[in-house]
Amino acid sequence: MLQAGIVGLPNVGKSTLFNALTKSRKAMAANYRFCTIEPNEGMVTVPDERLAVLSKISGSEKLIPAVFQFVDIAGLVAGASKGEGLGNQFLAHIREVDAIVQVVRCFENSNIEHVMDTVDPVRDIEIINTELLLADMDSIEKQKGKLQKLVRSGDKKATATLELIARLEPHLSDGKYAVTLDMSPEEKALAKPLFLLTNKPTIYACNVAEGDLANPEANPFVGKVRDYVSKHHETSAVVVSAEIEAELVMLAAEEAAEYLEGLGVTESGVGNLIREAYHLLGLRTYLTTGVKETRAWTIQAGWKAPQAAGVIHSDFEKSFISAETIGFEELVALGSKEKARELGKLRTEGKEYVVQDGDVMEFKTFV
């Protein structure tokens, strides 16, 4: 299962946010550095309003949302790439995840220690990213020797990899993430075995105080983060409040909704963060619905219908015949599958069909 790793400096709210995301208390949250040593793993459900809508149409007995995994990784500090603050160990944990959610502190609170004594989220981002870049540059340098030996023996793949490295090195030296380098599909395949930390898709989570959630644009830190990551890392930032999320975990659904309404928001930032991380991992959802259940199934973007069928059962991919398909919005507009079938709106898709997010599907197989 693909994983999104939560990283950042110590005391920025990573563990509190992880506990809120996973609705657990797995991660220890305390006001001192390195209260997290070993990474904590937890499953999160992907908020998807489409499930409830389809459930009403089909009269489903239960709803089953999509899930994926978050990992809470200990805080990095300046010098991590050289081993500071158990940095080598923590960088190894980051290397194991598939995408990064970097949490940055965007609130002032004299009662919560900041590792750098002052609040400056852009500075904090640069500290983390510098360590990731330095680790990648060191890793590339170590791999070059082995690749050069393979080149001398006539290995064409090693030659192509060294050519890619020759483009990567100045890119990294300029402070740019590997993931932002314009690479062909073939080069992307060559980059994977390099296991570069900066080749992982990344988004940023601006951790704000409770009073800023309703109008985050009024928080000057948020604007600075969004501008910086857009220009330097070609990515986006979402706004959350770990403080609020910690409270919401303790409340029933109705109470949580009332609490958010009192703050002037309709949804907590965690829901948006989960959806962003889900798509960052390249994950998409197709749906099945019936009297027994309405369910979200997770696939990779670009998967074809037989692969999607295989998520339900591996035999379905081998014995795939066709997929009865309709888009979620079209089905809702028509009101029922029966109406869609009557009007000829249910499409019969074959083996080459690329499944779209929100497709409502039913597979025909030999099984």
- To which H or E segment does residue 145 belong? helix 121-152
Tens digits of per-residue pLDDT, 181-235?
Answer: 999 999 999 999 999 999 999 999 999 988 888 889 899 999 999 999 998 888 9
Residues with Cβ within 8 Å of residue 315, at least 6 apart in sequence: 365, 367
Q: What is the mean pLDDT of residues 121-145?
A: 91
Domain ranges in the chain with CATH number 3.40.50.300: 3-280
- Domain(s) labelled CATH 3.10.20.30 in the chain stretch across 302-365
- pLDDT of 297 over the 90 cut: yes
288, 336 Cβ separation under 8 angstroms: no
pLDDT at 211: 85
Q: Is the pLDDT confidence value at 116 over 90? A: no
E strand or H helix at 325, and its extent?
A: strand 320-327
- Residue 31 to residues 15, 23, 115, 193, 358, Cα–Cα distance (Å): 11, 20, 11, 38, 42
Q: What percent of the chain has pLDDT over 70?
A: 90
Q: Are 27 and 90 within 8 A, CB to CB?
A: no
Which CATH number, 3.40.50.300, 3.10.129.10, 3.50.50.60, 3.40.50.2300, labels domain 3-280? 3.40.50.300
How would you classify residue 7: left for phi > 0, otherwise alpha for psi between -120 and 50, otherwise beta?
beta
CATH topology of domain 302-365: Ubiquitin-like (UB roll) (3.10.20)
Which tops the pLDDT comparison, 268 or 32? Answer: 268
> Is 18 within 8 Å of 42 (Cβ atoms)?
yes
Question: Whole-model pTM?
Answer: 0.85
* Rg of the chain, C-alpha, whole Å: 23
